[in-house]
Chains A and B, each alone.
Chain A
Amino acid sequence: QKEVEQNSGPLSVPEGAIASLNCTYSDRGSQSFFWYRQYSGKSPELIMFIYSNGDKEDGRFTAQLNKASQYVSLLIRDSQPSDSATYLCAVNLYGNNRLAFGKGNQVVVIP
């Protein structure tokens, strides 16, 4: 069973701080990796995608991929109350966009 794990419980961070989220995946052949933000009752909204090892930055967001260790992470710098949401890690297991999602990490930014 190919899995995507997001094991951390809810994450509370003060406004302006860095939120760090981690995700591990089981299939070494996975090709592309995505972070989605989901507000309660809403649809997943694409935040970042990364295909190659290393870091990728977009505004206040940085995605980090380490294929050897099979993890992908997301950093949110200068956290804002509007960043309060559940962050979903998704892995494209076969290159066919049959995404496997993690359960998500809830982030609460405290003003």
Chain B
Amino acid sequence: EPEVTQTPSHQVTQMGQEVILRCVPISNHLYFYWYRQILGQKVEFLVSFYNNEISEKSEIFDDQFSVERPDGSNFTLKIRSTKLEDSAMYFCASSQSTNSPLHFGNGTRLTVT
């Protein structure tokens, strides 16, 4: 069964550094998403992306965050200057349409020290 793949599985970075989290969505999916889950808390929506544009973003997704689809397969989340509170699991997801189920990748655990 096709799946969403994310790399790296774990990223440790120092506060103030830039990180790029990578995702390869399912190949016939058109909609891409980033969610995050701080340890012990709910899964939270960050951003959705379609047709090379951001469709919607949450209040969490401020100017420190950006997304990009640099080629036909990858979808990336960049955090420009990481803060301690950015430590979380970051999940990429994709779907065929805006009303079909999301399929999540295995996640990247980001630790900011």
Tell me the A residues contacting B by CB distance below 8 Å: 31-32, 34, 36, 42-46, 49, 51, 88, 90, 92, 95-104
Contact = CB atoms under 8 A, between A and B. Distances in A.
A96 B98 contact: yes
Contacts of A49: 101
Nearest to B107: A43
Given A32-B99, A97-B33, A43 B45 contact: no
Interface residues of B, number: 25
Contacts of B44: 101
Contacts of A42: 106-107
Contacts of B45: 98-100
A46 B95 CA distance: 12
Nearest to A31: B99
Contact of A44 (B41, B100, B104): B104
12 contacts: A31-B99, A43-B89, A43-B106, A43-B107, A51-B99, A90-B43, A96-B98, A97-B31, A97-B33, A97-B99, A99-B45, A101-B43
B102 A101 contact: no
B87 interface: no
A43 B31 contact: no
A36 B107 CA distance: 15
Interface string B27-59: 000010101000001111100100000011010
A86 B72 CA distance: 34
Interface string B9-42: 0000000000000000000000101010000011
A101 B56 contact: no
B71 to A, nearest CB: 23
